[in-house]
A and B are shown apart, each in its own frame.
Chain A
């Protein structure tokens, strides 16, 4: 590798930061980047001048655009790292939470929680995200159990199992939607995938899952590398294969489900970001995972920018955009795999 790893990471983080600032400036009201930075500084530095406080600009940046942008960052990072881990885990380049039906499972969980009006909070986590997590995890385990044959997982079984289970989850969700009455609009949102009208609550809903999930997949990156040699060799190199696999799979499902619980189903991010990054930094998960997270975040911030502005004042669901980008890429991967 020609460039040092920390340098690549730092560079990508800087690009992401500027993309965020730019994105926060663009919208129905244009706000120059300098003003955006001023608002952020006023809020973040306790001794700040608060020149902008209580103005309309302040509200737009701090209450509306910042949480939405942060959410795009977190959702993108969660989906991308989840997809990257699953590609290694299943030793299959087509693995992705959306394609494998995990997002659909998580959406079902969230829908059930909303329909039954579950309002409890547990350890600061609310019912909707817990339900999304549990259903997403259940789907992951079922797909894993079904598609596993020996050490490797064949693409066809993986994809077909994912499609079947995803379709099942989606039909349950649709049923809820039809019967759902007053919650219909809210439920429709999960099926489309969108970041519109997201506020600070949603950010706080996602943060614990994203933080824990990311921490786990980063800590286990070395083991994930060794798992690429196959279960048997990994075990002979001292990796406790079954335990590590369970931990990684749970973390990856947690990341995907948490993203879905706040943003609905946004497809293909977990496929696009890790593959783009792999071309630049190679297969080592110790750099691949953090880079995929940053790239996923960048991808979603930019996609959200387009979704908000392309048809203004109307808004495009962001899931449509990522699918338009991702589906052709998926076909390309499929084509390439068939040749080899």
Chain B
């Protein structure tokens, strides 16, 4: 499969305090890569580096073979869509308005959104099953509904890469499963490359093809969920004793916590 993003020896951080050090990995088209690790291991920083919000101190990122710096912000947004943890909701835009904002990188300066843009936005809402509340103000929606609208906005960007930053950490259990089912579905259908940052090991294991475990800003290990989610790795990175079992549904490795004495 084609390489969507290649990261080589990437280091970056805030005010000379390094957060990520010497990261190298590929994200391939059609795969769902999970990035896991404890808080402060640099997961969200990785997303900010990949969207060029945070400058690199060393190393390089290439997007479809071209250095990320050579893209304009608009060009990046046509390839890469980000689904954040939360979206500020201090305004009364309707859900459709918010999804239409996903068309921003495709619109020229003096052009308004045309019927095609509207059709793309509505189709995205149909796929994420939020067409029913397209006219409702976004701040009146529940967390799960709102996140579906944000996913629709990402799809309206017509990206080839999706970056997810803890997309379900504020959601109830039923919505977590629903959102990940949806993401797996769109990823498979459109052949998107998906990088998903999450602290939920079981969800990541269930849905991702490959996992990358970060510890203190470096890649501790990466590979298939079976290879990564082992007692030893989790003990070393999360400093927690666990048992790993196979999911009775899918056979994916799942973590069982061991309570302290």
A238 to B52 Cα, complex, angstroms: 11
Q: Are B109 and A237 in contact (CB under 8 A)?
A: no
Which of these, A230, A232, A235, A282, contacts B92 with CB under 8 Å? A282
**Distance of A262 from chain B, by nearest CB (Å):** 30
* A229 close to B109 (CB less than 8 A): no
Closest residue of chain A to B75 (Cβ to Cβ) is: A238
A230-B73 CB under 8 A given contacts A225-B93, A236-B82, A237-B101:
no
Contact with A along B34-68 (1 / 0, CB 8 A): 00000000000000100111000000000000000
Q: Does A219 contact B (CB under 8 A)?
A: yes
Asked whether any CB of chain B lies closer than 8 Å to the CB of A283, the reply is yes
Q: Are A235 and B73 in contact (CB under 8 A)?
A: yes
* Residue picked from B73, B76, B87, B110, most chain A C-beta under 10 Å: B73
Chain A 233-245, CB-CB to B under 8 Å as 1, else 0, gives: 1011111110000
Q: Which residues of A contact B52 (CB under 8 A)?
A: 235
Most buried by B among A225, A229, A233, A240: A229
Contact of A233 with B93 in the complex, beta carbons under 8 Å: no
B92-120 interface bits toward A, Cβ cutoff 8 Å, 1 = contact, 0 = none: 11000100011011010110000000000
A284 within 8 A of B: yes
A221 to chain B, nearest CB (A): 10
Is the pair A283, B73 in contact by a Cβ cutoff of 8 Å? no
Contact B109 A219 (CB under 8 A): yes
- Quick check: is A61 within 8 A (CB to CB) of the other chain? no
B110/A283 in contact, CB under 8 A: no
**Quick one: closest B residue to A151, CB to CB?**
B88
B48's nearest neighbour on chain A, judged by CB, is A232
Q: Is the CB of A229 within 8 A of B82?
A: no
Q: Are B101 and A226 in contact (CB under 8 A)?
A: yes
Given known pairs A232-B53, A284-B97, the reply for A237 and B102 (CB within 8 Å) is yes
Task: Indicate if B142 sits at the interface (CB-CB under 8 A).
Answer: no
| Residue B249 lies at the interface, judged by CB distance under 8 Å to chain A | no
* Contact in complex: B101, A225 (CB < 8 Å): yes
Of the residues A219, A229, A239, contact of B88 by C-beta under 8 Å? A229
Indicate if the CB atoms of B73 and A238 lie closer than 8 Å.
Answer: yes
Are A239 and B51 within 8 A (Cβ)? no
Q: With both chains docked as a complex, state the minimum distance between the C-beta of B90 and any C-beta of chain A, in angstroms.
A: 7
Bound CA span A219–B108, Å: 11
Q: Is B252 among interface residues, defined by CB-CB distance under 8 A?
A: no
Q: A226-B101, A229-B88, A230-B88 are in contact. Are A219 and B74 (CB under 8 A)?
A: no
B interface residues, tally (CB under 8 Å): 30
Complex Cα gap A45–B77 (Å): 51
Q: A228-B91, A229-B87, A284-B93 are in contact. Are A236 and B81 (CB under 8 A)?
A: yes
Which of A222, A225, A229, A238 contacts B74, CB < 8 Å? A238
CB atoms of A283 and B92 under 8 A apart: yes
B78 interface contact, C-beta 8 A: yes
Q: In the complex, what residues of B have CB within 8 A of residue A236's CB? A: 51, 53, 77, 80-82
Query: With contacts A225-B93, A283-B93, A284-B97 known, is A237 near B110, CB below 8 A?
Result: no
Interface check A157, CB cutoff 8 A: no
Nearest CB on A from B160, distance (A): 14
List of B residues within 8 angstroms of A283 by Cβ? 91-93
Q: Which residues of A contact B81 (CB under 8 A)?
A: 236
What B residues does A238 contact at CB under 8 A? 73-78, 104-105, 157
B116-148 interface with A by 8 A CB criterion: none
Task: Judge if A196 is at the interface, Cβ distance under 8 Å.
Answer: no
* B84 part of interface (Cβ distance < 8 Å): yes
A222 touching B107, Cβ below 8 Å:
yes
CA distance A42 to B8 in the complex (A): 74
Question: Separation in Å of the A44 CB from the closest CB of chain B?
Answer: 30
Chain A residues contacting B53 (CB-CB under 8 Å) are: 232, 235-236
Cβ of A63 to closest chain B Cβ, rounded Å: 38
Bound CA span A241–B74, Å: 11
A91 at the interface (CB under 8 A from B): yes
**Which of chain B's residues has its CB closest to A242's CB?**
B73
Q: Which residues A280-318 have CB closer than 8 A to chain B? A: 282-284
The residues of A that contact B75 with a CB separation of less than 8 Å are 238
* Chain B residues within an 8 Å CB radius of A282: 92-93
Q: Which residue of A lies closest to B101 (CB)?
A: A226
- A237→B105 CA distance, assembly (Å): 6
Tell me the bound Cα distance from A69 to B19 in angstroms: 60
Residue of A nearest to B51 (CB): A236
9 A–B contact pairs at CB < 8 A? A219-B109, A228-B88, A233-B82, A235-B73, A237-B77, A237-B105, A238-B74, A240-B74, A283-B93
User: Which 3 A-B pairs have CB atoms at the shortest separation, nearest pair first?
Assistant: A238-B105, A238-B77, A238-B74
